[in-house]
Amino acid sequence: MDGADEDGWSAVAGVWAELWGDFADPARQRVISETGIGPGSRVLDVGCGSGEFLGMLDRLGATPAGIDPAPAMIALARARLPTADIRLGSAEGMPWPAATFDVVTAFNALQFAEDTLDALHEFVRVTAPNGLVAVSNWAEGARNDLNVIETSVALAAGEELRPDGELRQAGGLEELFGDAGLDVISAGLVEVCWEAPNDEVLVRGVLMGEDPDTIAATAATVIDAARPFRIEGGGYRLVNAFRYAIGRTGPQATTPARNSSPSS
């Protein structure tokens, strides 16, 4: 599903949690091991969705907090962790004071911010001095089996193919981190796989958020395009890649106050 619309994400929250909630786990594990998150770490996950990473943090003994603009996502995250600090809101303006967290993360979410640099400045603001910011998102389409299917769907619908956004490309996250004043300490690729046990789940997962007529008209295209990814037993395995970058904040708060004067 595309787009930054919180109503759209709310509408698919249940399907997201069921079919895609664990998808980013390899990237989450990489970020945990490279940031050293552990017992007592104060960690904010931005665009927390249905709260899978918050659950992981809780099991590690960290203190998780989350924020997401989609009310149904927030409801699922709160149901998972009723006592955690989980708030409704967007990356662009977060309701925590400066320097509240040791680590601030976003998985498959920063790209939905209206202005990713503004949003990243906000990540930096709420991160403690010498704290860490970690962002992970889809790599360029050529690395993703899902892209093969999405390309077939787009061509069948007569749509133009969209170029990869900057954050998907090699060096894109690192450049944005530099612009936000973060010192990149680690970056790379992580393999993320998505499996569907049958045609029905494949179609529901790939066409998540589409209306029933579109799903009915497009299901055969999805199944046909997914043929190379069939596995024993009739299911499918799509091998994809996420990029990630981890950056350190400076010794002092680095971000000027937002909207501080009418001329700023």
Ligand X SMILES: C[S@@+](CC[C@H](N)C(=O)[O-])C[C@H]1O[C@@H](n2cnc3c(N)ncnc32)[C@H](O)[C@@H]1O
User: Which residue carries 């690729």 as its tokens?
Assistant: 189
194 sits near ligand X (criterion: CB under 6 A): no
Q: Which of 19, 30, 103, 112 binds ligand X (CB under 6 A)?
A: 112
First to last CA, the chain: 35
73 sits near ligand X (criterion: CB under 6 A): yes
User: Minimum Å distance from CB 138 to ligand X?
Assistant: 9
Between 4 and 99, name the residue whose CB sits nearer to ligand X: 4
The H or E element containing residue 77 is helix 71-80
Cα torsion through 240, 21, 225, 3, rounded to 10: -90
Which of the residues 14 through 43 are near ligand X (CB under 6 A)?
21, 24
User: Minimum Å distance from CB 92 to ligand X?
Assistant: 6
222 sits near ligand X (criterion: CB under 6 A): no
Site for ligand X (CB under 6 A): how many residues?
22
Between 137 and 231, name the residue whose CB sits nearer to ligand X: 137
CB 120 within 8 A of CB 176: yes
Binding mask 227-246 for ligand X (x = CB under 6 A): --------------------
56 sits near ligand X (criterion: CB under 6 A): no
- Applying CB under 6 A, the span of 65-73, 125-133, 146-154, 230-238 interacting with ligand X comes to 65-73
Q: Which of 113, 133, 173, 245 binds ligand X (CB under 6 A)?
A: 113
Q: How many other C-beta atoms can be found within 10 angstroms of the C-beta atom of residue 19?
A: 19
d(Cα 189, Cα 212) in Å, to the nearest integer?
A: 35
4 sits near ligand X (criterion: CB under 6 A): yes
CB 4 within 8 A of CB 90: no
What CA–CA distances, in Å, run from 13 to 9, 65, 219? 6, 19, 21
Cα torsion through 68, 134, 163, 205, rounded to 10: -50
User: Minimum Å distance from CB 221 to ligand X?
Assistant: 22
d(Cα 165, Cα 118) in Å, to the nearest integer?
A: 17
Q: How many other C-beta atoms can be found within 10 angstroms of the C-beta atom of residue 125?
A: 22
150 sits near ligand X (criterion: CB under 6 A): no
Which of the residues 86 through 105 are near ligand X (CB under 6 A)?
90-92
CB 47 within 8 A of CB 27: no
Q: Which of 68, 102, 122, 145 binds ligand X (CB under 6 A)?
A: 68
66 sits near ligand X (criterion: CB under 6 A): no
> Closest by alpha carbon to 224, among 156, 143, 138?
156
49 sits near ligand X (criterion: CB under 6 A): yes
- Applying CB under 6 A, the span of 30-38, 68-76, 141-149, 248-256 interacting with ligand X comes to 68-76
d(Cα 241, Cα 193) in Å, to the nearest integer?
A: 8
Binding site for ligand X (CB under 6 A): 4, 6, 9, 21, 24, 46-49, 52, 68-70, 73, 90-92, 107-109, 112-113
